Structure 1
C-alpha cells in the first residue's frame, strides 16, 4: 500500500541503495542515475520540479533548448526504468518491506509499504470478493520471451507493462497491478489457481518473438475459472520501419481496445450472458447499454435510456452509468430519438456528464460525454478543456476518438479530425458505421464523389448520419437522377421532418457555411427541397 505518513529518509535511502546495487541496475549507469535523481529530488522536497525538461538537462545532459515534446528520451527511459523496478520487485526485492514506484504518467516516485505477511497471511495479494471478481477483472500475465535469447527479455516485459497501462485506462475494468502478476513470471500456474490468488475473472497471456528485424506479438484472453480461450490475436511488425517504442504503444493500444472498450471482448461476453435476465444490478445495466453504439436505433435508444436510468437509481454514485447516460441523452438531440417534453436534451446530457466527472474525475467516459455536449452547445473553450482531459485519461478509446474526430473535422479542422477518426478505426475491432460520416463529407467536399458514395454505403442507417441523406446529395452532384428519385421517395417516407432535422444537424455540428451551401444545392439537384425555418431545439 502507499504510505499515508512520511517515511524516514534513511529508510528510503537504504532501499534506494539496495535497488541500485541489484542486478537490474548495477550495469545500467544512466537508468541508475535517473532513479537516484528522482528519488533524492523527491526526498529534498523538489517533487514539483520533476518534469521532463529538468530531467533531460540534469540526468541526460541535454542542452537548454531541449524540448521533451520532440525529443522523447526522458519518456522512453522512464518506461525502461519502470520495467527494471518491476523486475527487481518480482525477483530480488520480492520480500522488501518498501517499494519505490514511478507511476505511469509521472516522474515523481511513490514509496509503497508492502503488506505485513503476518497480517495478510503471506505476500500474495489479498483475495477479492467473488462478486467483484465476477465483473470485468483481468490480470495481464508476464508475456513470454520466445526469441531464444535471454537478452530479449526486456521486450516481453515492455509489452506487458504497456498493455497493463493501456488496459487500465478503461475504468469499467479492474486490472491487477504488475507487482502482483510479475510474481508468476516463468512459473507455470493453473489458471484456476490464478483466478483464486489474484481475484480475477480473466487472464491476458501472450508472447513476444523477435528474429532479425521482425517482431511477432501474440495475445490470448482466457477465462480463468474454466481455462477457456476467448480470443487470440497475432501482430507482426518490422522493426526497421518503426521504432520499438512506437510498436509497443501501437500494439498495446490495439490489444487494450479489443479487450476493454465498451464493446470489447470482455463486455460482449458479460452482456451476452446477462441479456436474458431481469435481475440486473447497476453494473449489468451499464454493461448491456454498451451494445447500443454499434448500430443505434430509436428502439434500442429507448431501452438503453431505461437501463441507464435504472443503473443510476440503483447506484447514484456510479460515474460510468452517468457518463453513458449523458451521451445517450445527447442522442435525442443528435438523432431525434425519443424526444422528451420539458427540459432540452442537451441540458439533461450536460447535467449527467457533469455528474459523472464530479463523481470520478479520472473517468475518461465522463469527460467524453462532457466534451461532446459542450461542443453541441457551442461552448468551445469548455469543449477544448474536456476533450484534452478525455484524451489524456484514455487515448485508446475508439468511440471517444471517433466522436472527437467528428467534432473537429465537421467544424472545419479536417486534418486533426481525420487523423483521430483513422486512429479510432485502427483501434476498434468492429468500427460502427457512424465513424464514417466525416470521411464521407471529406471525400465529398474535395470532389471525390465516387469515394464519397462508396464510404456512405458503408455507414448504415444509424444515429444522426442518415445514410440516405448522404447518398442523395452525392447522387444529386453526380447527376444520377434515377437513383436519386427512388432514394428521395424513401427519405420522405422514413424521415418526413427531414428539413428540420438537417437544419438542426448543421447547427449541432457547426458545419462550415460553404459546406452547408454545397450540401443544400446538391439535395435540390436531387429533388429534395429544403426550406429552412429556425428549428426548435431538441
Structure 2
C-alpha cells in the first residue's frame, strides 16, 4: 500500500516533478496515449508557471489538446472528458505502482472539477534528486536550503521600566516606512524590465488590417490577417492577443500588450498593383518600430516555376518580425538589461551565443540557462537550449557524456511540449549525432514545419541533413542562408561542400560570397568555410592559407584534418567527407605526394 501523503505548502522541487512526469510517461498505458501525455505535460507546465488556478476549459482544449481556436467550451465537454480520463489514468498508475510516488518523492494528482495539477509529497523520505542541468557537486535539495524554523521558546517577560518602549517601536516603524518609500521612489526611475520567465514573452496585439479598393481588398485584408495570426502564434518570442476581446474568451488577461501590429490592404491600383502595408507600434512609447510594404500582385509561373503565393510574398516580413534576430527580439534585447538574467532575457542571450559563440559570454549564458531550467523545468525552449550547451565543448564538455546529457534534455523538451519547434529540432540534432538519420530527419522536418519562419532552425536542420548525406539538406540550408546571411558560420563549409558534390559550384561560390565575417567566437569556423570556398574556386594557395589560420585557431596541426574539424562542431561522417575533399583538391597533401593541378575549379 502506498505511503500516506500530505500536501507540502511550498511544493516539491521542480526537478522531482519532472522526473515523476517522465516515469509516468514510460509506462505502457501512457506510451500508448500520446494525447494524454500532451495534456498532462501542458497541465504540469502551466501549473509550475503559476497559471494552474486560471486554467479554463477553452485554454485546455486549444493549448493542451490542440483543438481549433473556434472551439466552443460552452457546448463541447471534450476537455472535461479528457481531463477526467487523465485523472483515472493517474489514479490507476499509482494504484498499480505502490511505490511510484516514493521514487521521486512526489505524486501528481488532478482534483475533481479542476484543471490544476497538485503535487503531494509522501511521508517516506526519498533520495535527493540532482539538478536536471549539468550535475554539480554543490547542488543540494531545496529543503536543506530552507530548513524548518526551530521551535521557539516562550517569550521572555521583561519587568516594567520607565523607558518609552512604545515610542521606540512607533519611531522604528516610521523609519522603516520612510526607507521603503525612498526605495519605491528611486525604483520608479529604474527603466529595467522586471525578470520574466520564458513563458512570459511580451504580448503583441494583432490589430485590424483595413481595406482600400473594394471587395477584393477586403478579401486580401482578411487573408493577410489570417496568415499573420497563424504565423505569429508559431514563435516563442511573443504572445499574440486579438484586438477583439470576444476572440480571447477564457484567456486570463494579465499582461497588457507591448506591441500592436496593424496593416492596410490596397487593391485600388494607386500604387501599380496589390500590396499589404504593415506597421509595428511600441505601445509603451507610441513609437513606430518597423514598417514594410509587401507587393502581393499575382504572378504567373515562369519557366516551369510555380507562381508565388501570398505566404511566399509575406514570408520575409514575418521573418523580420519574429525571427530570433528580428525587430521584436532586437527591441527586447535593448530593454532587457543587464544580460544574463534567467528567463526570457537569457533565451535571447542564448540565441546570440549560439550564433556568434562569443567567448566572453560563455559563463554568463551557461549560468543563466542552467538557472532558467531550474526555475522552469517544463519549458521546452529552455530545455532545448540546455541540450545544445551540453554539446558545446567549451561549456558542457561535449564528447559522449555531453551527448548523453544533451539527449536527456532534448527528451525532456519534447515531453514538455511535443509540438514545440525548438524541442523537436533539439531532439533531431541528438538523433542525427547518434547516426539515426531517418528519425532525425522526421523530427527536424516536423519541427521546421511547426515554425517555418525561423531561419535559425531551418539552417540547423539543413546542416544536419547534409551530415547524413540527404540531398534535401543543401536546399534547406541554402534557403536559410538566403533569408538570413548571419546564420552560424560553420554551416557555410558544409553547404559549400554539399553544393560542390552536387556539381553546383557557382551556387557554392555565391554562398561563400554572401556569408558575412563573424566575431572572434566563430573566427575558426569562418576560416574553414573560406578554405572550402577557395578550394571550390580552384585557388589552392588561398585555401591553404585559410586552412592554416583555422588550424592555428583550433590549436591543432594543419595535417591532422580530423582533429581540426572536430573542434568546430562537425560530426564524424561529415569530417570524413570534408577531409577527403581537402586532400582531393590538394589543400592538404601527404608528405611526398604531388599536388593536383589547380587550373580549373575543383568539383
Q: TM-score, normalised by structure 2?
A: 0.57
CA shift at 1:431, angstroms? 4.5
Larger mean Cα displacement after TM superposition, 174-183 or 308-317: 174-183
Query: Is 1:476–1:526's contact at 8 Å kept on the other side of the alignment?
Result: no
Q: Distance in 2 between matches of 1:234 and 1:372?
A: 37
1:287 to 321, 328, 348: 348
Question: Which of 316, 322, 326 is the aligned partner of 1:254?
Answer: 316
* Structure showing greater relative contact order (alpha-carbon pairs closer than 8 Å, 6 or more residues apart): 2
Counterpart-to-counterpart distance in 1, 2:314 and 2:71? 25
Say which one has the larger Rg: 2
In structure 2, the partner of 1:215 is 274
Q: Distance in 2 between matches of 1:424 and 1:474?
A: 18
Given the alignment, which residue of 297, 307, 328 partners 2:368? Answer: 307
Choose from 287, 300, 316 the match for 1:241: 300
Give the root-mean-square deviation of aligned CA atoms. 4.2
Structure 1 residues 273, 102: CA separation in 2 closer, same or farther (over 3 Å shift)? closer
Separation of aligned partners in 2, 1:157 and 1:268: 29
| Mapping of residues 288-437 of structure 1, within 5 Å | 288-330=349-391, 332=392, 336-338=393-395, 340=397, 344-414=401-471, 416-428=472-484, 431-437=487-493
Do residues 110 (structure 1) and 71 (structure 2) align? yes
Contact 1:275–1:288 (CA<8 Å) still a contact in 2? Answer: no
Relative to the length of structure 1, the TM-score reads 0.63
Q: Against the structure 1 CA distance between its residues 528 and 446, is the aligned structure 2 distance closer, same or farther, given a 3 Å change threshold? A: farther
Gaps of 5+ in 2: 1-57, 76-193, 594-603
Q: What CA deviation, in whole Å up to 9, does each residue of 1:133-178 have, x standing for no partner?
A: 98421111121112x2144312101111110101101134211147
Q: 1:142 aligns with which of 205, 208, 212?
A: 208
2:226 match: 161
Please name the residue that 1:472 is paired with.
Answer: 531
Give distance in 2, aligned partners of 1:528 and 1:442.
28
CA contact (8 A) 2:380 2:416 kept: yes
Deviations 1:29-59 (A, max 9, x none): xxxxxxxxxxxxxxxxxxxxxxxxxxxxxxx
Q: Secondary structure at the match of 1:268?
A: helix
Instruction: Give unpaired runs (5+ residues) of structure 1.
Output: 1-97, 115-128, 184-195, 531-538
Q: Is the 8 A contact 1:257 1:428 kept in 2?
A: no
Determine helix, strand or coil for the equivalent of 1:511.
helix
- Cα 1:172–1:529 change in 2 (3 A) is farther
Q: Secondary structure at the match of 1:176?
A: strand
C-alpha contact (below 8 Å) 1:258/1:428 kept by paired residues:
no
Q: How many residues align?
A: 399
Change (3 A) 1:427 1:207: farther
- For the pair 1:264 / 2:320, whether they are aligned, the reply is no
In structure 1, the partner of 2:239 is: 174
Pick aligned residue for 1:275 from 307, 330, 337: 337
